[in-house]
Amino acid sequence: MKENPAILTALQQQIDDREQWALLTDYMLHESGLPGPRANLTLAGSFAELFARPEVTETAWELISAWSHLPESEAKTGDPQEYLPFCAVWACGAHYAHADSIRRSQAEERLQAAMNDGRWRLREAAAMGLQSLGEYDFALLRELLDGWRSGATLLEQRAFVAALAHPPLLKAEANVLYCLELAAGIMDGIRSSDSGPAEREHFRVLSKGLEYSLSVFAASLPQPGFAMLRKYAASGDPRLIKIVKSNLGKTRLTKNYPDEVAGLLQLLTTC
């Protein structure tokens, strides 16, 4: 669902007019859905789409740059103020494919900062921004992720799989194969490392992302997807086994591939 076209036209005018930024901010805060369990994703997505074009003015870019830099001290989790950087980060991803090299660099900085933010909604905004990019140009998303993969933090890795576990990105077989390859690299990294105390919370967040995303990939391309799950089911690593078990419990697999799921569950009981 999208916002009313008349509202979007008004938002566009306010975005491009610095004198109307106060009115825009008031509207976004009022319609944010915060405090509350769920932010207004319809408005946030429509706002981001306003930036999914080349003709974004410097005034508009300055606005989302300012919003995206709002620190947690000014925009705490659950506070309406948090909605502003949430929308801005998502918009950075939506604009990326249309941006020049300077703006792309700035967008990358904001997306990576959001991936590592202490606020879970900012981390979600980064993933949603990458999804907007991928829906427009998956090859460009792949290029961006490949540039980030080496040395990526645990939270950045979580953003990668959360962004890719998005059905509109998984219609092409080549895209799914890429997602499986990237996820396998992350799983292999877990097996070869031991998170210290300072990283345990970040690993928990990454694990939660992997605990559902692998099933999304496997449901899109079952043969290589279940082969990957089978590999890590037999790994002997309790962290990887927990991730596999969680994915095997997802309806998208149990309903459509009951025999494959049963076989893997049997394997887990014998390992």
Q: What is the DSSP code (8-state) at residue 27? A: H
Tell me, what's the pLDDT at 199?
83
* Mean pLDDT estimate for the chain: 96
Residue type for position 175 = N
pLDDT tens profile 122-177: 999 999 999 999 999 999 999 999 999 999 999 999 999 999 999 999 999 999 99
> What mean pLDDT comes out for the span 178-192?
96
Q: What is the pLDDT of residue 1?
A: 63
Q: Please state the rounded mean pLDDT for residues 107-124.
A: 98
**Is 200 in contact with 190 (CB distance < 8 Å)?**
no
3-state secondary structure 92-112: HHHHHCCCCHHHHHHHHHHHH
- Is the pLDDT at 271 greater than 70? The verdict is no
Is the confidence at residue 193, as pLDDT, over 90? no
Measure the CA–CA gap between 113 and 121, rounded to whole angstroms: 13
% of the chain at pLDDT higher than 90:
92
Q: Give the whole-angstrom CA distance, residue 241 versus residue 94.
A: 35
Residue 182 predicted with pLDDT over 70 = yes
Each residue's pLDDT tens digit, 20-73:
999 999 999 999 999 999 999 999 999 999 999 999 999 999 999 999 999 999
